[in-house]
Amino acid sequence: MVPPEPPPPDSERPILAQQGSEHAGVEPGAAARAEGAEAEGAGGAPEASDRVRSEWLRRVEAEYRSAAVTQHLTLWLIQIGASPDLIAAGLRIVEDELAHAELSYEVYQDAGGTEAPHLVREALGLHRTQTEPLELDVLRSGVDLFCLGETVAVPLFKELREGCHVPSARRALDRVLVDEVRHRDFGWMLAGWLFDSPRREEYRRLVQAELPRMFTRLRRAYAPKGAEAERQIGESERAWGLMPRARYGEILERAVTRDYVPRFEPLGVDALTAWQSELGAQLS
């Protein structure tokens, strides 16, 4: 999936639905289900806050986006004649993301949520650079979404799962964490397949040149200004599978040296220099 971002304050939550866009196909929960969630909050699981509901609905929307862009990337893999193993792995990830969306929506309903997820259709796809070979867009998307996004998603979801004990939320995070390891590996397998070609040096230069920009997006998503101030949240929100906003940035920082640097090194890409270049640009 698109890895979870630190939830914005309720007043800053982006409205994903725009004029001309449609609600997703997941139906809102029945009133009886919402009443059941209230009863559970009183006797079992802690009562869910607005933030819990907002975050789990956002995760549903993120899973739909992940399914759509992975399907698009897999189409590109077919078009460039990629390895059948890669194509099959991409299709399996699409199924995973849709399953994650269902599980996340169940959590949202258990928390008392009744809205349908809002999706912007125009955002459910990948951008094609028409003046360049398709392989370059495959490489960009694979590195950005999977080598970066899915790699940091593994420790992020592990942390979210640590304090979670609401049954439906724990069930969703258990499934997501298992799948994210395979999604991460897909990204590096795709990069390795592309680099194992006569165009390896061209691909290496492209990744080295664009990695700082990709890191900038990642940092803005996980360590936005002000996020470091929230270092604690209530136990009830932890129980529902949330964590303090500051933890997202801390986990990302750790992933740079623990994951990105050693994984990019065999490809001839200096991830640490790219990260430091991005950080320097942010501070200047």
- The domain limits of the chain are 10-283
User: Which pLDDT band holds residue 3 (cuts at 50, 70, 90)?
Assistant: low
> What is the per-residue pLDDT across 87-111, written as a single tens digit (0 to 9) for each?
999 999 999 999 999 999 999 999 9
Question: Which pair of structure tokens corresponds to residue 16?
Answer: 């994903």
User: 3-state DSSP call for residue 118?
Assistant: strand
Query: DSSP alpha helices (H): ranges in the chain?
Result: 31-43, 50-79, 84-110, 134-141, 151-162, 167-195, 200-222, 235-239, 245-255, 261-264, 271-283
User: 3-state DSSP call for residue 3?
Assistant: coil
Say how far apart CA 68 and CA 74 lie, in whole Å.
Answer: 10
Question: Which pair of structure tokens corresponds to residue 21?
Answer: 């866009």
Say how far apart CA 249 and CA 218 lie, in whole Å.
Answer: 9
Q: Is the pLDDT of residue 35 over 80?
A: no
**Percentage of residues in the chain with pLDDT exceeding 90?**
74
pLDDT for res 18: 31
Q: What is the mean pLDDT of residues 40-49?
A: 69
What CATH number labels 10-283?
1.20.1260
Q: What is the mean pLDDT of residues 256-269?
A: 98
Q: Is the pLDDT of residue 31 over 90?
A: no
Question: Which pair of structure tokens corresponds to residue 192?
Answer: 């390795």
37 contacts 111 by C-beta, under 8 angstroms: yes
Q: What is the mean pLDDT of residues 3-12?
A: 49
Q: What is the mean pLDDT of residues 223-233?
A: 82
User: Which pLDDT band holds residue 15 (cuts at 50, 70, 90)?
Assistant: very low
Residue 19 burial (10 A CB sphere; 0-12, 13-18, 19+): exposed
Q: Which of 242, 241, 103, 112 is nearest to 172 (CA)?
A: 103
Say how far apart CA 99 and CA 176 lie, in whole Å.
Answer: 9
Residue 196 burial (10 A CB sphere; 0-12, 13-18, 19+): exposed
156 contacts 7 by C-beta, under 8 angstroms: no
pLDDT for res 123: 87
| Better-scored residue on pLDDT, 59 or 19 | 59
235 contacts 46 by C-beta, under 8 angstroms: yes
How many C-alpha atoms does 24 have within 13 Å on its Cβ side? Answer: 25
Tokens 């290496």: give the residue.
204
Q: What is the mean pLDDT of residues 107-128?
A: 93
Say how far apart CA 247 and CA 251 lie, in whole Å.
Answer: 6
Say how far apart CA 270 and CA 221 lie, in whole Å.
Answer: 22
pLDDT for res 25: 44
Tokens 């969703």: give the residue.
172
| Better-scored residue on pLDDT, 36 or 246 | 246
Q: What is the mean pLDDT of residues 45-62?
A: 94
- Ranked by mean pLDDT, the top range of 32-36, 104-108, 224-228 is 104-108
